[in-house]
Each structure stands twice: as structure tokens, then as C-alpha cells.
Structure 1
Amino acid sequence: MATPLSDPIAVRLPADVLEGIDEVAAILDRKRSWIIVRALKNYLAGEGQYLRDLAAARKEAGTGNVVEGDQLLNELTDGLPLYGTIGR
């Protein structure tokens, strides 16, 4: 089943960005919109997801649900040999 589409939107782009989109579209024999949708999906999957995760973590930290750094380090390294003692 195809993904439902939104209403059309208008976006002004810097000329060099549009030239790049047109160049890639021509190479792939695709429409501009296909290139733009892929670029936006990649952005949202990477940096966009990072920003959403960061906002969620900040919200959770605001509720007091945090662990002190020393406590976290102790929990992560519990049972591990100390740095510098490996191989001795």
C-alpha cells in the first residue's frame, strides 16, 4: 500500500541546492520530488532522530529520572579490570 501524500508545499531553495537536486535527478532519471523526499527521509532518520531523542532525554531528565555520572561509570565498569592492568 502506498504512503498517503500530504497537500503540496512550496519551498524556496538556494540555487546551488536546486542544481544539485536536478543533477542527481537526471543521473537517476527521477523527479525532483523523489530526490527531495529521499533527502528529507535520510535527514529525519539521522540528525532528526538524534534531535528527537535528545528532546526526549531532556524531558525525562527534567522529571528527575537521572543517574549521576560516577554511578553510571561504576555500573558500566563493575567487574572489568582497571585500565592499565590488562596483560600484567
Structure 2
Amino acid sequence: MAVELSDPISIRLPRDVLAAVEQVAKAADRSRSWVLVHALRRYLMTEGADILAVVEGRAQIANGDAHDMDDVLDDIERIIRKPADVA
């Protein structure tokens, strides 16, 4: 079984945030590090992922890999208004 490696970092936290982290750690019988890693992973899966998706979308637009929304809506309107083929 592989051991997951980690790098130590220093971080300054507001006292109220640190107090909340310590409360959760004590209540969950976990370390402060575990609580912070758990919180950061959840952030990265939600808001962090949204930020990266925006960056990727902007890169796609810059590379010309995008469609004008008005053109897309016009295409949808044409599809909706097209008479159905009658057999």
C-alpha cells in the first residue's frame, strides 16, 4: 500500500477560524491538520473547480474554440420552427 506524501506549510489563520478548526477537531477526535485538509479538499471540489472551469473556458474562447450564443439560439429557433417530416 502506497503512503501518501505531504509537504508541511505555514499558514496564518484568523483566531476565530483557528478556534473553530480546533473545536471541530476536538469534537471529531481528529487533528487540526485533518480538519484543514478535509475543508480544503471540499473547497477544491466546489468553488476551486468552478474557478478552474472559468479559466479553462476563457482559454477555449481565446483559442477560438467557442460558439456565439446568439448563433446557438438562432440554430435552436430554426430547429424548433422546422416542420416535422410527414411520412
What is the TM-score when the length of structure 2 is the normalising length?
0.79
Query: Within 2, Cα distance between the matches of 1:65 and 1:35?
Result: 40
Query: Within 2, Cα distance between the matches of 1:35 and 1:26?
Result: 10
Query: Within 2, Cα distance between the matches of 1:64 and 1:58?
Result: 10
Deviation string 1:45-79 (CA, Å, 9 cap, x unpaired) is 00100111110110010011221112222445643
| Uncovered stretches (5+) of structure 1, i.e. residues with no partner | 81-88
Partner in structure 1 of residue 28 of structure 2: 28
Equivalent residue of 1:33, what SS? helix
State the superposition RMSD in angstroms: 1.9
Q: Percent identity?
A: 39
Pair 1:28–1:63, CA change in 2 (3 A): same
Partner in structure 1 of residue 52 of structure 2: 52
| Uncovered stretches (5+) of structure 2, i.e. residues with no partner | 82-87
